[in-house]
Amino acid sequence: MKTMAKNNSIADFVRKHPLGAGLFGLAIGAGVLAAFIRSGEKLDLNGRVVLLTGGSRGLGLELARQLARHGCRLILAARDEVELTRAAAELRMAGAVVRTVVCDLSKPEQIDRMTVEAPKIFGRVDILINDAGIISVGPIDSVHQSNFRDAMDVMFWGPVRTTLALLPHFLRSGDADIVNISSIGGKIAVPHLLPYSAAKFAMTGFSEGLQSELRDRGVHVLTVTPGLMRTGSHVNAEFTGNREEEYRWFALCATLPGVSMDVSRAAKQIVTALQRRDRELTLTVIAQAAIRFHGAFPGLMLQILELANSFLLPPPSRDAAVEKGRQLHSKQSRAFQTLTGLGNTAAASQNE
């Protein structure tokens, strides 16, 4: 009833005040045009200060390399000091200006310290890239509540706490950017990756809502939804259930050309989207097609995922013992190790 009354009042206004309605229409058109013009602006990255979480390896390290080539000054954050030191040394050898902050995003007190220290290093932070992530692979039978808590701490609460802590700084500057690296798993719940998907769904919602609220206040938010990329992350992923079988399907998907995307190409596209101040970016043709198909035919997509779970993925197992991909890789046949060669090369080059 309220909706009908509202529609009637709008209709009455249009009939009684055609000039006002015309101005209202012009205002809407101007808003759309302004949004279009803003989307065409290109951000000059030279001299910008970037705080990049998860910057010591994988996609984060590749983004750091690309941003350094554009003249950005980098603050890399990660929980492993040895990996951070190694990544920073490589970047400095290539001429990058880099500082590091050790931070475990699952620990709020360390986030508090990082967000106080980071703006002091170069006097400000212009761009925040939330990239840190963890992956656990296994059937729901082998998953504990702790797996969901760990995933949410790193991939949802970590970015939320970091963003909220730096937001007053960004709003004062009136010219800042936030890049949130979500996942295809944050649009479509992938079987045997439920803790990861749950955290990425939350991250996607936070990022998209943030963009809606902050765009007109000078803070530009880019939500990145990658499909599978060859970052070498399969060696650091954790596996439960039928661990060797779980490792095989995940490593193949994260490695084979046509299924996974070269990490350097992915990073270039992300940097380009940042420069254009796009609102969203979905990487890989497969991810784009899957998201559109899921949006148009959600029930059918769920049936396809059910079939994949039943016939393609390993059978259920309650074995909650955990092994890293690196451990499981050594148990595979020589033929399999050859088949995943591109992924293993990526792992070496991406500090995994």
The residues that are catalytic are 196
Q: CA 125 to CA 115: how far, in whole Å?
A: 10
CA 93 – CA 95 distance, rounded (Å): 5
User: CA 125, CA 163: separation in Å to the nearest integer?
Assistant: 12
The full 3-state SS of the chain, as one line of letters, equals CHHHHHHHHHHHHHHHCHHHHHHHHHHHHHHHHHHHHHHHCCCCCCCCEEEEECCCCHHHHHHHHHHHHCCCEEEEEECCHHHHHHHHHHHHHCCCEEEEEECCCCCHHHHHHHHHHHHHHHCCCCEEEECCCCCEECCHHHCCHHHHHHHHHHHHHHHHHHHHHHHHHHHHHCCEEEEEECCHHHCCCCCCCHHHHHHHHHHHHHHHHHHHHHHHHCEEEEEEEECCEECCHHHCCEECCCHHHHHHHHHHHCCCECCEEEHHHHHHHHHHHHHHCCCEEEECHHHHHHHHHHHHCHHHHHHHHHHHHHHCCCCCCCCCCCEEHHHHHCCCCHHHHHHCHHHHHHHHHCCC
Going from the C-alpha of 294 to that of each of 68, 202, 302, the distances in angstroms are 37, 18, 8
Q: Which structure tokens are listed for 213?
A: 């609220």
In whole angstroms, give the CA distance from residue 268 to residue 213. 27
